[in-house]
Chains A and B, each alone.
Chain A
């Protein structure tokens, strides 16, 4: 799977971009935590067969969270979240919650869906790993070349993108669970990847600099 550090970095960039006036260290921590959370299904895979990139990488959790948040803040007379956060911080809390859900999907699930490992998007309703892979090029010789989405793909699944197999046939290896199958093996050789390739280093570096600049700015704003 894509390094968790990359998810955290994209989460941090989303936090900086979308939190607006709610931006502070605590809010950033919440949004980055949401970005990292899906990768915890690697731990679950020690017990549940084929849970990595499936259990928490499926779209159901963020979908349910989004519906719940919408219902709580827009359709109920008294919002539980606003009351908990207090009158002044109510709007901030709602904003942080929305950005955290977005971060879960975009920064947590996204890098795996678009890079190498693939994601079991509809698990357990429909068990199939998907990967967005291909190219979109305009060529003067060949016209528009598009291979991301094609109908009539091989393999199990319902979406018209590359399919990698089901949780029974396809396993994702992680440092928590090196062979991807249930059962904890304390002696196994583990490899925790922080950055797998050049572009990921660029993303991580951009996030580090962005956070440094933003924190300096907010700290300066507080002291003045």
Chain B
């Protein structure tokens, strides 16, 4: 995984941009929990093959949560969430934080993991398929616009179209190393176990951490928390 620190750094920048007047320590603490929580699926690894990057990193559950939240707070006459949260000010605040949490989870956590190693099992349990987001978008004088994130190939003989969005495997075949299971359980080796807790494995990940810290410091300098 790009480390949780990297997720948290980018999440801070996004959160500062979206929380508006709800930006304060309590909201940031809640978002921090949302950033860390998906990694708990590492601990399911010994029980379920390929659990890491599947259970906590699917976008199916967040989409369901977003749908329910929207239905409850915007469509129903009497919102269960609102009545549970107390006064309108308090309810408005935590509903806003919940939306930011969903956004931060999708972009700062799942989004970044999607681009890394074998990617994420993005719509599990609807479909068991890890995908990795990898490619580039360029405009060149020779070839015009070209993108390689999603490749669409047409079989010249059968005329069937195949869409490849970076499929890497299923929970049976994919194992993404993490501190709980530092190597693929199917692999048999004599080497001592090396659990690695990365902070930043590349310059750009350090950059994302720096972005978050800079935002935090700048907001404090501006006198907002």
Q: List 8 A-B contacts (CB under 8 A).
A: A16-B18, A20-B224, A114-B204, A136-B206, A190-B141, A202-B112, A206-B111, A214-B17
Would you call A17 and B17 a contact (CB within 8 A)?
yes
Would you call B135 and A18 a contact (CB within 8 A)?
no
Please report the total number of B residues contacting A with Cβ < 8 Å: 51
14 other A-B residue contacts (CB within 8 Å) besides A136-B199, A213-B18: A16-B16, A18-B215, A106-B214, A132-B206, A139-B196, A190-B141, A191-B140, A193-B136, A196-B136, A197-B115, A198-B116, A198-B134, A199-B208, A205-B111
Contact A115-B14, Cβ < 8 Å, known A142-B194, A194-B139 = no
Question: For residue B196, which residues in chain A have a CB less than 8 angstroms away from its CB?
Answer: 137-140
A17, A113, A210 — most chain B CB neighbours (10 Å): A17
Contact A111-B16, Cβ < 8 Å, known A137-B201, A192-B138, A201-B149 = no
In the complex, what residue of chain A is closest to B20 when comparing beta carbons?
A: A217
Would you call B194 and A141 a contact (CB within 8 A)?
yes
Residues of A at under 8 Å CB distance from B? 10, 13-18, 20, 95, 102, 106, 110-111, 113-115, 131-142, 148, 189-199, 201-203, 205-206, 209-210, 213-214, 217
B86 at the interface (CB under 8 A from A): no
Q: Which B38-86 residues have a C-beta within 8 angstroms of A?
A: none
Question: For residue B204, which residues in chain A have a CB less than 8 angstroms away from its CB?
Answer: 111, 114-115, 199
B200 at the interface (CB under 8 A from A): yes
Question: For residue B142, which residues in chain A have a CB less than 8 angstroms away from its CB?
Answer: 189, 191
Closest 5 CB pairs of A and B: A198-B115, A16-B17, A17-B16, A114-B207, A141-B194
Would you call B203 and A133 a contact (CB within 8 A)?
yes
Contact A189-B140, Cβ < 8 Å, known A110-B207, A209-B103, A214-B18 = yes
Question: For residue A195, which residues in chain B have a CB less than 8 angstroms away from its CB?
Answer: 136-137
Q: Which B120-158 residues have a C-beta within 8 angstroms of A?
A: 132-142, 149
Would you call B202 and A133 a contact (CB within 8 A)?
yes
A216 to chain B, nearest CB (A): 12
- Cα of A216 to Cα of B69 in the assembled complex, Å: 20
In the complex, what residue of chain B is closest to A12 when comparing beta carbons?
A: B17
- Cα of A138 to Cα of B18 in the assembled complex, Å: 33
B211 partner, pick from A106, A113, A196, beta carbons under 8 A:
A106
Would you call A18 and B222 a contact (CB within 8 A)?
yes
A110, A194, A201 — most chain B CB neighbours (10 Å): A201
Would you call A114 and B218 a contact (CB within 8 A)?
no
